[in-house]
Structure 1
């Protein structure tokens, strides 16, 4: 029994190490938040903090999104705060499907994953920790069949 438990913990540790070692060195942040019951209400603002050290580099920003095949729209409107300026959040339309209904993301089972750019070659004014929040801005509240919402920030190449 103790050997089986030790083997289990060793296997889990090896898997976690393997997943962490595969991370992209160009990514400042690439994180996703699972939404409980695949429901995204207006008041659930998904926020991310990240640190910028190199202000000479440009940065690309992406929304990571996963929806189920039962998501009933071909797009999703979001409000995204600016990491530097204290102004109202900008509204973005995320295109998820073609007019014929074919999903634009990558499918796995009943989930479709998207990585959608929303800023490119963005320059930060100073090193430091920055914050971005994302909120859904659709007519439905809550919005159903959204599994995960995330943010990726990477150095522009």
Structure 2
């Protein structure tokens, strides 16, 4: 009976230790139908920020195929704070070098590009909404598989 009781303590300690780490506060992806980002498709990510004193890292990842025709991708990030304040920022993500070689990680026919915004604070506690809008003048941007948005609390809060 004592062995069984001690086993439960070991299992509980292992579970607690495994749950600790740098797991994201938020991590979601949006997959584009037919690997095509249409102008009217605007992926939305809703993030709850628990406090205004911590620093966070924001990670945006876009996966394309190796058939992607451009060396960059322009998009707009629309943001809404818990108090309803709105913002709109244009952003350019470099996908390939001028010589055509891929900048991101490649695996077979997939190219993954990630940008990090490190050591950022949010001005208000609560729910934030981030909406992504493609910023290319064409109706459809082909060979874009998905976009991911992640928020992680910085481990070093200095």
| Both structures adopt the same fold (TM-score exceeding 0.5) | yes
Shift of 1:124: 1.7
Pairing partner for 2:36 from 35, 39, 44: 39
Shift of 1:101: 0.9
Larger Rg: 2
Q: How far, CA to CA, are the matches of 2:19 and 2:131 in structure 1? A: 26
- Over aligned residues, Cα RMSD in angstroms? 2.1
Query: Aligned in 2, Cα 1:146/1:23: closer, same or farther, shift over 3 Å?
Result: farther
Matched residue count:
136
In structure 2, the residue matched to 1:63 is 60
Q: How far, CA to CA, are the matches of 1:23 and 1:137 in structure 2? A: 39
1:121 aligns with 2:119: yes
Query: Aligned in 2, Cα 1:39/1:73: closer, same or farther, shift over 3 Å?
Result: same
* Deviation per residue, 1:101-135 (Å, 9 max, x gap): 11111111101111112x33222223211110111
In structure 2, the residue matched to 1:13 is none
In structure 2, the residue matched to 1:137 is 135
SS of 1:37's partner is helix
* Deviation per residue, 1:77-115 (Å, 9 max, x gap): 010013437344100000111111111111111011111
Q: How far, CA to CA, are the matches of 1:83 and 1:139 in structure 2? A: 25
Instruction: Work out whether residues 80 and 86 of structure 2, in 8 Å CA contact, stay in contact via their aligned partners in 1.
Output: no
In structure 2, list runs of 5 or more residues that go unmatched.
Answer: 1-17
In structure 1, the residue matched to 2:26 is 29
Q: Which runs of 4+ in 1 moved over 6 A?
A: 21-24
Pairing partner for 2:144 from 128, 133, 146: 146
